[in-house]
Structure 1
Amino acid sequence: MSTVKETVDVDVPVRRAYDQWTQFEDFPNFMEGVEEVRQLDDRHNHWTTSIGGVQREFDTEIVDQMADDRITWRSIGGDTQQRGSVRFERLDDTHTRVELTLDVEPTGVVEKGADALGLIDRRVKGDLRRFKDYVEGSGGTGGGWRGRIRPEDPGTTL
């Protein structure tokens, strides 16, 4: 499994950065290779990606989420194996550090080759730069999910 860890500082308050990240269906606006994300419920999303001409569909489950602090997820089912976390650190009233950690198990020749060439690292770095542009610019609708998902109680959201 390969681990990618990238950080970007955005010129928006932590609440705006976090709220925008919880708008999962907006991900195709700044994530390369993400064709669609459908939010199924507070905890589950269905992804359609196309990387190097290989289309994949998979589901993710949020296992820990705390407003303005973190979101942690894992893939469930399918052949795409990944888990990750995004953290939001308030730097001051108008600046936030966003740190993304992604553990991914490349499957297939294309994905394994992309990983060996460092393309996954570069893609994540590019996605965070595009997120910065998106959240600082006119992108994003505001509003976000402010609930709490606790890892010790996977069936309950508050």
Structure 2
Amino acid sequence: METIEKSIEVEQPIRSVYNQWTQFESFPLFMEGVKSVRQVTDKRLQWHVEIAGITKIWEADIVEQIPDSRIAWHSTSGAVNNGQVLFESLAPDRTLVTLILNYETEGALEKVGDALGLVSLRIQGDLRRFKDTIEKRTTPAQGWRGEIEDGQINPPD
């Protein structure tokens, strides 16, 4: 399994950054190759992605979600992957976002692309586009503020 870890500083408060990230269905706006993300339930997402001309569809469960801190997931079908996104307040209007992705390459084309660092470059580009998207917002996103611990949903108060 391959692992990529990338971080970016965003000039927004942690609450705004976290709330925007929880808007999973907006991922195609800033994630290259992501055709759609459908939130099936509070903890289940269905992904439709095109990578190097190959369509991949998978489902993933959010196994941990702590507001303004962390979102962790693992795939339950399709492309094998898991990871987490960490949010750290650096100042009242500055947040560090760290994405850690673990994934398995499939087939020769993906293995070559991975060897060339294409997945790493794509993720860094996705984080830059996320930063640009949220820093240009004039109104803060409304995020889901519930928690998920050990796969169990605790709705927001």
Interval of TM-score (by shorter of Structure 1 and Structure 2)? over 0.9
Counterpart in 1 of 2:23? 23
How far does the alpha carbon of each residue in 1:59-81 deviate from its partner, in whole angstroms, 9 at most, with x for none?
01000000000000011112x11
Partner Cα distance (1:155, 1:15) in 2 = 22
Aligned residue runs from structure 1 range 9-158, under 5 A: 9-78=9-78, 80-138=79-137, 142-151=141-150, 154-158=151-155
Q: Give the Å deviation of 1:112.
A: 1.4
Q: Give the Å deviation of 1:3.
A: 0.4
Which secondary structure state, in structure 2, belongs to the residue aligned with residue 149 of structure 1?
Answer: strand
Which secondary structure state, in structure 2, belongs to the residue aligned with residue 100 of structure 1?
Answer: strand
Q: Give the Å deviation of 1:156.
A: 3.5
Partner Cα distance (2:19, 2:153) in 1 = 21
Cα 1:77/1:140, change in 2 over 3 Å:
farther
Partner Cα distance (1:139, 1:112) in 2 = 41
What is the aligned-residue RMSD (CA, Å)?
A: 1.3
Are 2:4 and 1:7 aligned?
no
Q: Which letter maps to 1:66?
A: I
Q: Give the Å deviation of 1:89.
A: 0.2
Which secondary structure state, in structure 1, belongs to the residue aligned with residue 32 of structure 2?
Answer: coil
Q: Give the Å deviation of 1:138.
A: 3.0
Q: Give the Å deviation of 1:92.
A: 1.0
Partner Cα distance (1:100, 1:139) in 2 = 25
Structure 2 unpaired stretches of 5+? none
Preserved contact between residue 30 and residue 133 of structure 2 (Cα < 8 Å): yes
Q: Which letter maps to 1:90?
A: S
How many pairs align? 155
Partner Cα distance (2:152, 2:64) in 1 = 12
Q: Give the Å deviation of 1:142.
A: 0.6
State which drifts further: 18-27 or 103-112.
Answer: 103-112
How far does the alpha carbon of each residue in 1:84-117 deviate from its partner, in whole angstroms, 9 at most, with x for none?
1000000111000000000010112221111111
- How does the TM-score come out when normalised to structure 1? 0.94
Q: Which letter maps to 1:16?
A: S
